[in-house]
Amino acid sequence: MLQINGIACEAPLEGNLLVITNRDVPGVIGQVGTLLGSQGLNIATFALGRRDPNLGAEALAIVQLDGEVSEAILPRLRAIPNVMEARIVRLPLAAPAVTSAAS
């Protein structure tokens, strides 16, 4: 579990990630997904965390994408109403688990 700006979110931390903060209102997730799909970007995982509404209606999304992600997508994500910030984070992929054969 990680926490960014007081919002906790449980997400895989590997590969190409979009980190998005937004106002917690209906429709934002759909708009993000539609934009990514229109750019040919496939979502591998989408994890969402929300701040307690009494502390401010904000959400945090950690979106893991298949393949490379261009920085050119960021202005389009930031132009979505209610998106406050969008960043790309590139992390190494986790090494595959090693299994041993039974003797």
Please check whether residue 53 lies inside any domain of the structure.
yes
- What is the pLDDT averaged over residues 61-84? 96
Please report whether residue 58 resides in a domain. Answer: yes
What is the span of the domain harbouring residue 84? 2-91
The amino acid at 94: A
pLDDT tens-place string over residues 8-63? 898 988 999 999 999 999 999 999 999 999 999 999 999 999 987 776 689 999 99
Residue 23 lies in a domain: yes
CA distances to 25, 27, 58, 92, 100 from 66, in Å: 27, 23, 26, 13, 29
**103 is a domain residue:** no
Q: CATH number of the domain that 14 lies in?
A: 3.30.70.260
CA distance 42 to 45: 9
* Top-confidence residue, 1 or 70: 70
75-84: average pLDDT: 97
pTM of the model: 0.84
Structural domains counted in the chain:
1
pLDDT at 72 over 90: yes
